[in-house]
Structure 1
């Protein structure tokens, strides 16, 4: 069974997908009431699952009548993605940044679910069992090599 964070994420993605503007404004308290949780749970989901690395821009206004605006960032062209990869990955990349990049590519349909899962498995710290900074350097090399093959379809 999925946890509450997964359910909140799915709900927010659904209402975002239905939005004609690729953006949605929500009130923490209303969403918290819907899921019978505390508003800080909504904050947690938004701050961890709706990040810029994952293709979202979040704006928040606190106080009475406050809201959270979640906006989907447009998917770039393949050329822009390739430039972004070379800038983002560089000579080393940590696991969080690499997973964010994979997530963006998957959401933009540059990678299939299977390809994204294979990438995640290949670059995980459980597989790359060497110390830092060597692990981040190996991860960058593996990630770049695999993405070059996968994105030239």
Structure 2
């Protein structure tokens, strides 16, 4: 039993020391207005330290403003991370029009919203299994103007 515990501790220690992919949100910006929603695009850079590509299981996101969630979603099977390289992922966040209208009433003065974007990037690491890279960014983004709606 003691030998088994030592083996478990050794494996746990070695797995803990393994390099893991890292990620950062580089940009969140207004993309376009469509019939159902206003779309924002978040760009995420993910660095893969391994010499093989790594499959991404899913990306989940939560977009908050004024301490309430205004959009959330899951992007299933968005592809893979390039081997020994950085991969740019684009996360499309769709905010329904009725939410934007209620936000616009609260912030008419400067026509922008303070937001918090939480992203969970779930990847499938060899030996370890599913691993979530949590990301969070707070910032300010413009609401669409009338000219944005007719472009």
Name the TM-score class by shorter chain: under 0.3
The structure whose Rg is larger is 2
Bigger RCO of structures 1 and 2 (CA < 8 A, at least 6 apart) = 2
**Given the two structures, how large is their TM-score scaled by the length of structure 2?**
0.26
**Given the two structures, how large is their TM-score scaled by the length of structure 1?**
0.26
From the two aligned structures, give the one with the greater strand fraction. Answer: 2
